[in-house]
Structure 1
């Protein structure tokens, strides 16, 4: 059993497809072996949409897709209320749903046959310019990418079967070594909450049920960096995604990335990238696809 296989397989899929994969793991069999951020939509586009209509995202992408999963066992093309295109693939094992894979995000090409669409559409929200810049997905490309997604699923199913045979307790309980479990918890916490300007080490300590001093030591031991360093790095990464994929004003990019002020955002961003946000945006602007 190779614990690193899921991470490598997903990275290979993403490199070949140009899509970002996340998943819902219903039996806790995959999440211990990949980054905690894989467990939800954290790409910049979805972050922007969820900042405005989080419940609508949950209702369609989580609740409805889970309820209808058996109808789409070969994969499906779906469009959410904001107009974002994703590929969806439910994976069943032993008659029960194991994973629900989401791969995206794109905008629809003119010939794209969309199978599932959220009827509570709102295409004129503040996210509309960002979605308009995404690469268009054609029908031919969608069919090709769905096949790649099925092959990834088959690879992970084979790995899951081997895991179950080699380590049945680990496979069924979703357990992992204590250090890896804590690392995953910290990564998830930062991914989920780093955009809150008031986030502090004390909040992480409460989440981990540790003293603040102990939580700080744990972060340093597991990551080789302080909590403050990890927090700023996560905020800069979110800001980079928003700069590349949206037309949001710099002040709004700073706010949605968790920076308390525009001045602090500029100082931290320049320290991490050696460029101002405006210069970085111009040099990394996503070219508009045909």
Structure 2
């Protein structure tokens, strides 16, 4: 059975943070969570503004192709984020979120209207000037850093940052076949002590933690990339596709192909 490696209250803390940021910015905030790690309700994980919902009724594929492919690909290499116009002429701020050195998704603030004439939807905020937009971009950059801090566990001082260090090492080496000895070497501890530490921090054994992280990454890859399941399995260190499928099915309760069909891309 799947066990969440993040504390149960993380999603609620992030939801409160998103609500405050939306009030301050006067824009809808959403996070395209590529790693499925935030625990946020769907309202905060897609463009839920009434204007966006209107355009998605007839142009969902356009939104998905733009957000999930073009924007994600470009912002993965552009950490500062940017102000941009969507294919329907609406303006938004977009900033990538990096967790343990890995591209985890994109934060959006918007949409708003800086075009000429009357806004195409009555709920769109009219941009008073360019500085107003830059201020929102700065707010979104700060939110991205805070989101990274929470998801990495760096905000939890009680464990001395060890939780974040373990996750960072495992995520950076997720495509390898790792042993607890390699993690122990990185932590400058014995293998025995490292095993106890992992159990203390995550409530599960090292093999189970590593498997959970690999399955989390597999789920992200299934819904963000159309690569064959066999290739995906090899990328994550599984030479036997059938074994990978069994592990994934135990973790999520369905096989990789079914999971991919049941989780189409959202914008």
Normalising by structure 1, what TM-score? 0.48
Question: CA distance change for structure 1 residues 19 and 176 in 2, over 3 Å: closer, same or farther?
Answer: closer
Cα deviation, residue 265, structure 1: 1.0
Alignment RMSD:
5.0
Cα deviation, residue 195, structure 1: 2.0
Among candidates 78, 101, 120, match of residue 61 of structure 1: 78
1:104 match? 106
Cα deviation, residue 105, structure 1: 7.2
2: CA distance between counterparts of 1:211 and 1:284? 41
Among candidates 182, 195, 198, match of residue 175 of structure 2: 195
Give the 3-state SS of the residue equivalent to 2:213 in structure 1: helix
Question: CA distance change for structure 1 residues 252 and 204 in 2, over 3 Å: closer, same or farther?
Answer: same
Contact in 2 for aligned 1:86/1:103 (Cα 8 Å): no
Number of equivalenced pairs:
183
1:87 match? 94
Question: CA distance change for structure 1 residues 235 and 154 in 2, over 3 Å: closer, same or farther?
Answer: closer
Normalising by structure 2, what TM-score? 0.51
1:258 match? 237
Question: CA distance change for structure 1 residues 10 and 206 in 2, over 3 Å: closer, same or farther?
Answer: farther
Cα deviation, residue 257, structure 1: 3.0
Cα deviation, residue 61, structure 1: 2.8
Alignment of 1:1-290 (within 5 A): 7=14, 12=19, 16-20=28-32, 60-61=77-78, 76-77=83-84, 87-88=94-95, 104=106, 150-151=138-139, 177=157, 179-196=159-176, 198-286=177-265
Contact in 1 for aligned 2:95/2:140 (Cα 8 Å): no
Contact in 2 for aligned 1:189/1:204 (Cα 8 Å): yes
Q: Deviations over 1:47-69 (max 9, x none)?
A: x97xxxxxx999x536xx5xxxx
| Structure 1: runs of 5+ lacking an equivalent | 23-33, 35-43, 50-55, 66-71, 79-84, 90-101, 114-139, 160-173
Cα deviation, residue 175, structure 1: 9.9
| Structure 2: runs of 5+ lacking an equivalent | 1-9, 23-27, 39-67, 86-91, 97-103, 116-123, 147-153
Contact in 2 for aligned 1:10/1:152 (Cα 8 Å): no
